[in-house]
Amino acid sequence: MKPLPLPIRIAAGLVATAVEQARNLPRHAVEFPVTAVSQALQASMRVQQTITELAIKGDRVLGALRPIEEKPSWATFDEDLDGDGEWPENGVTPLRRPEPERIPVARPPAKVETITPEPPAPVETGDASGPNVLPGYGHMTIPQLRARLRNLSVDDLHTLLEWENAHGARAPFVTMLTNRIATVTTS
């Protein structure tokens, strides 16, 4: 038997390929958004990379054409200050004078004194040391209390919570004790 002509064989191959692609269409439809986003991000990154490379080359060319300033006009160094460590009265350093086309140098902000806040005074109560289940509880910080909570029973925790509510009801302590009671009782 004589083989079929080439155009018919090519057409049959195209039909077979179309059928295979139609069968794979659901899988490709799911993958398409991910593939499209990935390709768009790759193209964006390539464009950014090319722009950065061009800018670097441009900097090199322009840098070779311009002379290097020994002291840039925008830089102010500690040596530019007066001998007593203060800025000159007129804000202009002795090394450079303002030129009409330049913008004058701004004065540095005034020195600001930092005020260290004092720690809050402990709540004065009749029994500042705390209940007997945890001596010194009234002076404890949250981290100190957290370190000791695991060793306390539910009754001890309830005693601490009652004492806290009666002696200042500090919100972080009440919350920590309440959460620990809930954790212990659900375990």
In this structure, what token pair is assigned to residue 91?
């804000």
Count of CB atoms situated within 10 Å of the CB of 159: 19
Count of CB atoms situated within 10 Å of the CB of 125: 13
**N-to-C CA span, the chain:** 84
**pLDDT > 50? residue 124:** no
Look at residue 148 in the predicted model and tell me its pLDDT: 87
CA dist list (Å): 13 to 4, 6, 7, 8, 27: 13, 11, 10, 9, 22
CA dist list (Å): 127 to 82, 148, 152: 60, 20, 20
In this structure, what token pair is assigned to residue 82?
């007066």
**pLDDT > 60? residue 35:** yes
Closest CA to 160 of 139, 132, 186: 132
Q: Give the sign of the dihedral formed by CA 37, CA 38, CA 43, CA 46.
A: positive
Share of the chain above pLDDT 70, in %: 67
**pLDDT > 70? residue 54:** yes
Count of CB atoms situated within 10 Å of the CB of 149: 18
**pLDDT > 90? residue 122:** no
**Top-confidence range, 32-36, 76-80, 115-119, 160-164:** 160-164
Give the global pTM.
0.33
pLDDT tens by residue, 2-28: 888 899 999 999 999 999 989 988 887
Tell me how many degrees the CA angle 48-49-55 measures, rounded to the nearest 5: 90
**pLDDT > 80? residue 100:** no
What DSSP designation does 94 have? T
